[in-house]
Amino acid sequence: MGRVRQLFIKRTALELIKKYKDYFTTDFEENKKRVEDVAEISTKRLRNRIAGYITHKMKQMQR
């Protein structure tokens, strides 16, 4: 089983995907930089978790 993510992370990530769908990719490193560009995230850990969830969702959409 995977880790359970907080609702705030999911909600923020899905909002960013909705607004900037073509901007994100399936590459975590790229998404980290892009999340930092489009959103004002307070901590590095939170940014990484949001970018990870975006990467996960983008891979799901690709299938």
Pull the structure tokens for residue 38.
């489009």
Neighbouring CB atoms inside 10 A of 36's CB total 14
- pLDDT tens, residue by residue, 9-46: 999 999 999 999 999 999 999 999 999 999 999 999 99
Q: How far is Cα 12 from Cα 8, in angstroms, rounded to an integer?
A: 6
Neighbouring CB atoms inside 10 A of 28's CB total 14
pLDDT of residue 1: 58
Question: Could you tell me what percentage of the chain is helix, strand and coil, using 3-state DSSP and rounding each to the nearest 5?
Answer: 75, 0, 25
Would you say 25 and 31 are in contact if contact means Cβ atoms under 8 Å apart? yes
